[in-house]
Amino acid sequence: MITVGELLNEKGHGIWSLTPDDTVFEAIKLMDEKGVGALAVINNSSLVGMISERDYARQVILKGRSSKDTKIKDIMSTQVYYTFPSQTVDDCMVVMSERRIRHLPVLKGDKLVGMLSIGDLIKVIIAEQKYIIEQLEHYIAGDEYS
């Protein structure tokens, strides 16, 4: 079973973040530039929240607010679920499914070291399943060297 640390070593440790006092417009612009659906919100080197496209849709668009006038701190999610490099991809999938979240920050101690998306986890799980299927096919076919 692959760990979060192993996955981050493959995928990279890129983290896109803003501060609570940045505007929602800046957040949406950065998400678009980086092709991501959520950003970490960092204050004094600490993870204090997350802002996602879902937060934008529900807290800005539906409430008739202006993204250029609204601060991230006014709409960000402050209850942040996270993982550690030693946890498994399966552990993360359980958390994301149960909490209905699509992004999971990775902390090493108090330091943010990466971000996982549901897509990252699905890719790993599909690759693991494909490998298992191939091994079973070789076994069934009686291949000596698989």
The total domain count for the chain is: 1
The number of beta carbons lying within 10 Å of the beta carbon of residue 37 is: 15
Whether pLDDT at 57 is above 80: yes
Percentage, residues of the chain above pLDDT 70: 97
Per-residue pLDDT band at 130 (split at 50, 70, 90): confident
In a domain, residue 146? The reply is no
Question: What was the pLDDT predicted at 16?
Answer: 95
Rounded to two decimals, what is the model's pTM? 0.83
The yes-or-no verdict on residue 146 having pLDDT over 60 is no
- List phi, psi (to 5°) of 88: -90, 160
In the predicted model, what is the mean pLDDT of residues 42-60? Answer: 95
The dihedral over CA atoms of 129, 132, 137, 140, expressed in degrees to the nearest 10, equals -140
Classify residue 10: in a domain, yes or no. yes
**What pLDDT, on a 0 to 100 scale, did the predictor assign at position 145?**
58
Residue 124 maps to which CATH number?
3.10.580.10
Q: What's the domain range around 131?
A: 4-141
First to last CA, the chain: 19
